[in-house]
Every structure is written in C-alpha cells, then in structure tokens.
Amino acid sequence: MLKFLGTGGAFNTKRGNTSAYFELGSELFLIDVGEDVFPKTIENHLFDQKTRVNIFITHLHSDHVGSLGTLLAYLYINVFGQDRSKICVYFPSEALKELLELQGVTEEVYTFYVNLWDELYVDGYQREVEYNFEAGKHTPYLDYKKNENCYHITFSQKKEFCFYYSGDTCEFNHQLSNPYAYDWIYHEVTMIKSAEVHFQYDKLLEATKDMPADQKKKFVLMHLDSNFDVERAKMDGFSIAGEQL
Ligand SMILES: [Zn+2]
Ligand SMILES: [Zn+2]
C-alpha cells in the first residue's frame, strides 16, 4: 500500500529519512518530510496532476520534518498557484505551526488541521478516508501535552484498506496484538540495544511470537539503522519497508 521515499533511521544516510506516501484519486498523502525528503518528492514527480497534497506528521524530530517548510513554500509558489487550500498539513498539536512560523512559513501558505480524527472527501475517489492520530511514547524531550511525544496514525477506508503507521516509538501499541484488524502495520524498529527511545527488535519478536506467519508478515519494518540485519528480520518472518511486498 505505502511507497517509501526513504526507510532509514536518523543517521542512516544510505536509506535516507523514513518517509512514505500513497495516492488516492487525484490526491497525494505524504507521511513525514525529513531533511532529505523534499528533493525526492520532486525527483519522483509526486505532485504532477495532483489536486491536493495531504501531509501527515508523526512528530517534530528533524528527520521527520526537516524539509517540510521548504516543501510547503514550493507547493504554494510552484505547484498550486498560491492556493493554500490545496496544501493540507495534519498534526494534532499547535507546536508544528509554531515551528514553521519560526522558519518564516506562516499559515498563509498551507492549511493546518489539528484534529486527532477526521474523514476526508478525496477528489476523484468518491469514498471518504478516515485518519486517526493516537498519542504514543518516543522521547520525553518532545512533550506536546504531557507524555505525548509522537503520534501513531491509522488510515482506513472501511471496505478497502486499513493500515497503521507507528512513527518513532519505544512501545508496542496493544491494538497491534490483533493484526487481523489491519492490512499492513508499518513499524519503526531498532536492533541497537542502547537506543531506548526506539522500539527494540527483541520486543517485537516477543510481541508477535504467537502470530501465524501470514499475520506476522503484515509487520513492515522501517526507520532502519545502518547495522539493521535485514536478512535476519526476513528469516524471522517480517517484511521490510521499500521492498516488494
Ligand atoms: Zn526518526
Ligand atoms: Zn524521532
């Protein structure tokens, strides 16, 4: 379902910042816009023939929002003829608006949606897509509203698809214990034991140990560090972001 512009952790320059997108009707849905993402959106012609661009942000670490300001200015000036209604940004805290303001990108160039949940009418698609942000734990140095450090996002269209995107996290959302509810579960993971603010691979193994192989395969691993053992993860039955599923 998701295509990836990058699948790496913050320091993995080879894989690049983890960022993903999907298209419905004539609209683009983009998740996270880290430092190296803006040029890739251009190289991949993501905005050609689009009537609206929807950008979802999981949290404010720069490997997730580093080139967002530039992207918004570009869309406003070069793509949508200064029509901010076509440039939609979704994040459930005003903190993002403040960050962009400090970078000189005001709400004049984009439309900000601060809701946790909503349904969207999508151009050329006719059915409403639902999104749902859920607060999760990542690092206490990010604190939007006491203990909200990052957001997990679920996207669904009742009869067609439902997928979960973890963002960066150090926890396993209990809802994922029922993988049958999802088509795909995109999950951040690390094999670096000292990286406590990220989700430990061993914990993922433990959390999924009783799942049948076809359910375990729904876990698509992303935000991979350079030492991540992809072959081992595949042997253990998981999928890898950016590889053919
Ligand atoms: Zn990150
Ligand atoms: Zn992070």
CA–centroid distance, residue 82 to ligand 1 (Å): 31
Judge whether 62 lies within some domain: yes
Q: What tens digit of pLDDT does each residue of 30-45 get?
A: 999 999 999 999 999 9
Q: What tens digit of pLDDT does each residue of 74-90 get?
A: 999 999 999 999 999 99
Judge whether 119 lies within some domain: yes
Q: Domain count for the chain, please give it.
A: 1
Domain ranges, residue 221 = 3-240
DSSP summary character for residue 68: H
Judge whether 135 lies within some domain: yes
Asked whether the beta carbons of 85 and 111 are under 8 A apart, the reply is yes
Judge whether 75 lies within some domain: yes
Judge whether 211 lies within some domain: yes
CA–CA gap between residue 63 and residue 67 (Å, rounded): 9
Ligand in nearest proximity to the CA of 149: 2
Looking at residue 43, its amino acid is E
Judge whether 235 lies within some domain: yes
What is the CATH classification number for the domain harbouring 67? 3.60.15.10
Joined together, the tokens standing for residue 115 give 């809701």
Q: Any idea how long the chain is?
A: 245
CA–centroid distance, residue 244 to ligand 2 (Å): 25
Asked whether the beta carbons of 206 and 175 are under 8 A apart, the reply is no
| CA Rg value for the chain | 17
Average pLDDT of each block of 10 consecutive residues along the chain (245 residues)?
Answer: 97 98 97 98 98 98 98 98 98 97 98 97 92 96 90 94 97 97 98 96 98 98 98 98 85
Judge whether 245 lies within some domain: no
Judge whether 82 lies within some domain: yes
CA–centroid distance, residue 198 to ligand 2 (Å): 8
CA–CA gap between residue 218 and residue 180 (Å, rounded): 9
Question: Taking the chain, what is the end-to-end CA distance rounded to the nearest angstrom?
Answer: 9
